[in-house]
């Protein structure tokens, strides 16, 4: 028995299908390895619809980043817990919560290729992180922002460079889950001091 997959129709359905397909592909492949044709094929739509609904690849990535940031913000505001928010970013790629990690990985890639003067969409990509300092009980917002910046540096560094760090420190034989748990503990200690 053959399953017939319904193709998306209408502007909203096509847009959502393309964003969903891009998210799936970017989660499993590096952004440089994902083409607009591949996204269209994954979404089950004609390649020309990508251009009609988004324009360029950068425009599609900007919209996806905005949607992922909005989703992460909603989940973070629902829990209103700093360490849970950081754990969602730090989550290993094989965990269900890794969508926040996919957002951060795509964000890092886009920030590395953007010019420093990029505004508008670039601001929307990371502005959502500014809700984190208010979740801390530090005396001043400046102290909370510094603590948040330090925690994010640790989280981002481990998230992106753990293969290099493990190899450089000869930790390849150490269980990754154990190391990852140690990073989460380090972030918690940092925040609780």
Q: What are the residue ranges spanned by the domains of the chain?
A: 80-192
Per-residue pLDDT of the chain (193 residues; tens, 9 = 90+): 544 457 777 888 889 999 999 988 887 777 778 889 999 999 999 888 888 888 888 888 888 888 888 888 888 889 888 888 888 887 765 554 456 667 777 777 777 776 555 545 555 555 578 888 888 876 677 888 888 888 888 888 888 888 899 999 999 999 988 888 888 888 888 887 6
**Coil, strand or helix at 73:** helix
CA dist 193 and 87 (Å) reads 18
C-beta neighbour count of 143 within 10 angstroms: 12
45: left (phi over 0), alpha (psi -120 to 50) or beta: beta
**For residues 106 and 19, is the Cβ–Cβ distance under 8 A?**
no
């Amino acid at each position: 028995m053959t399953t017939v997959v319904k193709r998306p129709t209408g502007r909203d359905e096509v847009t959502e299908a393309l964003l969903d397909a891009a998210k799936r592909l970017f989660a499993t492949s590096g952004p440089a390895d994902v083409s607009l044709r591949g996204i269209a094929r994954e979404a089950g739509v004609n390649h020309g619809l990508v251009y009609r609904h988004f324009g360029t690849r950068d425009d599609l990535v900007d919209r996806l980043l905005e949607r992922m940031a909005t989703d992460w913000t909603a989940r973070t505001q629902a829990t209103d817990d700093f360490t849970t928010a950081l754990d969602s970013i730090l989550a290993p790629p094989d965990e269900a919560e890794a969508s926040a990690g996919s957002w951060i990985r795509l964000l890092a890639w886009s920030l590395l290729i953007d010019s420093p003067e990029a505004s508008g969409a670039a601001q929307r990509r990371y502005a959502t992180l500014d809700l984190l300092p208010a979740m801390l009980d530090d005396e001043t917002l400046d102290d909370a922002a510094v603590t948040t910046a330090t925690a994010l540096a640790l989280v981002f560094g481990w998230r992106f460079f753990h293969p290099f760090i493990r190899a450089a420190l000869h930790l390849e034989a150490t269980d990754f889950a154990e190391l990852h748990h140690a990073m989460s503990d380090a972030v918690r200690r940092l925040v609780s001091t």
